[in-house]
Amino acid sequence: MAVAGLFLMLFLVFHLATNLLMLAGDGGKAFANAVRFLTENPAVKAMEYILFAGFLVHIALGVILQVHNYRSRPVRYHKRLQTETSQFSRYMIHTGVIILVFLVIHLLNFFFIRLGWVALPDHAESRHDFFSMAVVLFQNPWYSLIYIVSFVFLGFHLKHAFQSAFQSLGLNHTRYTPAIKVIGTIYALAISIGFSLIPLYFLFIY
Amino acid sequence: MDFKLKIWRQKNAQAKGSFRTYPVSDVSPEMSFLEMIDYLNKQIIESGGEPITFEQDCREGICGSCGLYINGRPHGPMRRTTTCELHMREFSDGETIVIEPWRSKAFPVIKDLVVDRSSFERVMHAGGFISVDTGSAAEANSLPVSKHNSDKAFDAAACIGCGACVAACKNSSAVLFAAAKIAQYALIPQGKAEAKERVDRMVKQMDTEGFGYCSNTYGCEFDCPKGISVDFIALMNREFFSSKLCKQIPGKYTRKV
Nearest CA in chain B to A163: B216
Instruction: Say if CB B92 and CB B98 are below 8 A apart.
Output: no
pTM of full prediction above 0.90: yes
What's the pLDDT at A136?
A: 92
Query: CB under 8 Å to B5, separation ≥6 — which residues?
Result: B21, B22, B23, B24, B40, B96, B97, B99
What's the pLDDT at B257?
A: 58
What's the pLDDT at A66?
A: 96
List CB contacts (< 8 A) between A69 and chain B: 170-173, 212-213, 215
Instruction: Say if CB B23 and CB B47 are below 8 A apart.
Output: no
- The CA–CA distances, whole Å, from A202 to A36, A187, B139, B177 equal 22, 24, 76, 52
Does residue B188 sit at the A interface (CB-CB below 8 Å)?
no
List CB contacts (< 8 A) between B240 and chain A: 170
Residue type, A148: I
What's the pLDDT at A12?
A: 97
What's the pLDDT at B248?
A: 66
Give the DSSP per-residue string, A56-113.
HHHHHHHHHHHHHHHHT-SSPPSSPP-----HHHHTHHHHHHHHHHHHHHHIIIIIHH
What's the pLDDT at A16?
A: 97
The maximal CA–CA distance of chain A, rounded, in angstroms, is 60
What's the pLDDT at A124?
A: 82
* Helix count and strand count (H, E) for chain B: 8, 7
Tell me how close the Cα of A123 comes to any Cα of chain B, in angstroms.
45
List CB contacts (< 8 A) between B213 and chain A: 65, 68-69
Positions of chain B with pLDDT lower than 50, given as ranges: none
Please state which of the ranges A102-116, A142-156, B211-225 shows the lowest mean pLDDT: A102-116
Q: Give the burial class of B219: count Cβ atoms within 10 A of its Cβ; 0-12 exposed, 13-18 middle, 19 or more buried.
A: buried
Which of B205, B212, B216, B231 lies closest to B120, judged by CA? B205
What's the pLDDT at B249?
A: 65
Q: What is the DSSP letter of B107?
A: B
Tell me how close the Cα of A89 comes to any Cα of chain B, in angstroms.
5
Q: Give ipTM to 2 decimals.
A: 0.91
Mind listing the pLDDT tens digit for each residue in A153-200? 999 999 999 999 999 999 999 899 999 999 999 999 999 999 999 999
Tell me how close the Cα of B129 comes to any Cα of chain A, in angstroms.
23
User: Do A84 and B222 lie within an 8 Å CB cutoff?
Assistant: yes
Nearest CA in chain A to B218: A85
What's the pLDDT at B185?
A: 95
3-state helix, strand, coil in chain B (%, to 5): 40, 10, 50
What is the C-alpha separation between A102 and A196, in angstroms, rounded? 14
Bridge partners of B5, per DSSP, are B22, B97
Helix (H/G/I), strand (E/B), else coil: B36: helix
Domain residue spans of chain A: 2-71+88-205
Banded pLDDT at A21 (limits 50, 70, 90)? very high
Query: CB under 8 Å to A122, separation ≥6 — which residues?
Result: none
Tell me how close the Cα of B255 comes to any Cα of chain A, in angstroms.
32
What's the pLDDT at B131?
A: 83
What's the pLDDT at B255?
A: 62
List CB contacts (< 8 A) between A75 and chain B: 103, 109
What is the C-alpha separation between A58 and B89, in angstroms, rounded? 48
Instruction: Outline where chain B has alpha helix (H).
Output: 33-46, 118-127, 147-157, 164-168, 175-186, 195-208, 219-223, 231-245
Helix (H/G/I), strand (E/B), else coil: B38: helix
What's the pLDDT at A123?
A: 83
- The CA–CA distances, whole Å, from B56 to B43, B65, B101 equal 19, 5, 13
Domains of chain B, CATH where assigned: 3-111 (3.10.20.30), 118-245 (1.10.1060.10)
What's the pLDDT at A190?
A: 98
What's the pLDDT at B254?
A: 58
Q: Which among B216, B219, B233 has CB closest to A83?
A: B219
User: Do B216 and A160 lie within an 8 Å CB cutoff?
Assistant: yes
User: Do B217 and A85 lie within an 8 Å CB cutoff?
Assistant: yes
What's the pLDDT at B117?
A: 97
List CB contacts (< 8 A) between A89 and chain B: 215-218
What's the pLDDT at B245?
A: 86
Mind listing the pLDDT tens digit for each residue in B81-108? 999 999 999 999 999 999 999 999 999 9
Instruction: Say if CB B17 and CB B109 are below 8 A apart.
Output: yes
Q: Can you tell me the mean pLDDT for A46-73?
A: 96
User: Do A83 and B71 lie within an 8 Å CB cutoff?
Assistant: no
Query: CB under 8 Å to B87, separation ≥6 — which residues?
Result: B29, B30, B31, B32, B33
Instruction: Say if CB A113 and CB A121 are below 8 A apart.
Output: yes
Banded pLDDT at A120 (limits 50, 70, 90)? confident
Judged against a pLDDT cut of 80, whether residue A38 lies above it is answered with yes
